[in-house]
Amino acid sequence: MPSTRASGILLHPTSLPGRFGIGDLGLEAYRFIDFLAGSGQQYWQVLPLGPTGYGNSPYMCYSAVAGNPLLISLELLRDEGFLADEELWHVPNFPGDRVDYEAVVAYKLPLLQKACENFKTRASDIQKTRFAGFCESKAYWLDDYAMYMALKEANEGKSWFEWESDLVTRSPAVLDQWGRRLNTEIVFHKFLQFAFFSQWSQIKQYANERGIEIIGDIPIYVAHDSADVWANPENFCLDEETYLPALMAGVPPDYFSATGQLWGNPVYNWEHLQKTDFKWWIQRFEAMLDYVDIIRIDHFRGFESFWAVELDPEIEPEKRTAEKGEWIEAPGKEFFERLRDQLGKLPILAEDLGVITPEVEELRDYFEFPGMKILQFAFGSDPANPFLPFNFPRNCVVYTGTHDNDTTVGWFNSRPDWERDAILRYLGHISQDGIHWDLLRLAYSSVANLAILPVQDLLGLGNEARMNFPGKAEGNWEWRYWGGALSNELSDRLKSMVHTFGRASQPKELHQ
């Protein structure tokens, strides 16, 4: 992370504008990068980019490494000759301010299938060579992922642990048989990944050439129904007969939940991972660093110790709680030392929110990972509150809010009177620019090395633009901004703030 002052914007690519119902890696992504560069920003932070399942959460993906095919730009496929121009003429009347995922899938999937078929017959020798090289270099995860997705579709969307037993246990003979039967579908999923990574690599190159680095996101846990768990069950704490989680991840009861939270993910079998010299985890980091510059680790505290809940099969899933669990120590220090031996510098940002122990802080600080400070958390207690700017260390990243918070305008409007009074006492007054600009100034003027602003706060939007409601299963991850919202006037104003508070572009240095 930067040892000099810098700033950036948090925006998931699905929130980009465009006529195809969901943000993608086409023209609007390049326009957004131009906006970042023009407004003096140096970082673009994104959420996990993987293929999402039920609920469309980027934190519950079918793969920890693969890309989301819905982000593929149809227009770029057309420009390469794999779709005809007229095939993009009749686009459904998608909403412009949110993603209707079901409608987007129904529209884009047939076109992506057509592009794949056209690729087979029209691709040049260079393109075919690039595809073959991609498949070979990514085979360590791509082969399992493509097979998993093809099998999932052949099994009518059922989770892998509900398939026939020979597929659950990955019998080589049965997998070979299914591989021949589903060859067309497997090639299709490999093509989708080739298209995604080809387009994303161009995005990253364009950003880097303009002084913009990309902050990616690693959720510490992976979805139970994923290619990762199916292909590597020994890495996870699973029941040996049912392959359901023997120990499930979550957090214990706290201020926010009297019964704690169960997340549905199996926890890691760290003892086995240690025996493999953390191979799976190291490959995961290496794969991510192919397409981002810096990695934010979600739920960083789980590398020091994690809450594990043994599931009672007599209790119905919807009635289970996280109360009866235990903290289990994780070999975080050993892992990060091994990762540092492999990668050298560790460009890592630690999500250290929630109840954090001295041991977690010690692990974070030993490797000099910046932690996170959220201004929306700053005003609910006393002057010792660690989220108040005068309590910040320099080596941290300050946010007005994250994807899990309300927008700053929505947050302020919902505050009780006593907390509004505390905010007013701290700020002195709410300016005519609005609370979102006041918190932006507070973030930019702090000592934090890096300040990140969600694009919703830059636009001054209310809670209708919130990205995620934690604990709500559906209706999240849908928000999009309208084309033209990021104006030149807004860019100039943000650039002025960058210079005012000393966050203009400088050579970047990463901590060891």
Residue carrying structure tokens 């977690």: 360
Catalytic annotation present for 228: no
- The verdict on whether 79 is a catalytic residue reads no
User: Which residues neighbour 139 within 8 Å (Cβ) at sequence distance 6 or greater?
Assistant: none
Judge whether 16 and 24 are in contact, CB under 8 Å: yes
Could you write out the DSSP letters of every residue in 115-134?
Answer: HHHHHHHH--HHHHHHHHHH
β-bridge partners, 310: 247
Q: Is 351 a catalytic residue?
A: yes
d(CA 340, CA 345): 6
Q: Do you know the residue count of the chain?
A: 512
Q: Are 29 and 385 in contact (CB under 8 A)?
A: no
Q: Quote the tokens at residue 134.
A: 């991609």
**Count of C-beta atoms within a 10 Å radius of residue 206:** 15
User: Which residue of the set 34, 97, 298, 419 is catalytic?
Assistant: 298
Contact 397, 449 (CB under 8 A): yes
88: its two tokens = 């993009």
How crowded is residue 414: how many other Cβ atoms within 10 Å of its Cβ?
12
- Among candidate residues 144, 217, 304, 351, the one labeled active-site is 351
User: How far apart (Å, rounded) are the C-alpha atoms in residues 286 and 138?
Assistant: 11
CB-CB contact of 323 with 253 (8 Å): yes
CA proximity to 295, closest of 337, 336, 356: 336
Q: Which two tokens stand for residue 67?
A: 């890309």
CA distance 506 to 141: 37
- 34, 75, 404, 419: the catalytic one is 404
As a whole number of angstroms, the distance between CA 30 and CA 8 comes to 16
Distance CA 401, CA 212 (A): 21
User: Exposure string (b/e) for 381-404, b if CB count within 10 Å is 16 or more?
Assistant: eeeeeebbbeebeebbbbbbbbbe
Q: Which active-site residues does the annotation give?
A: 298, 351, 404
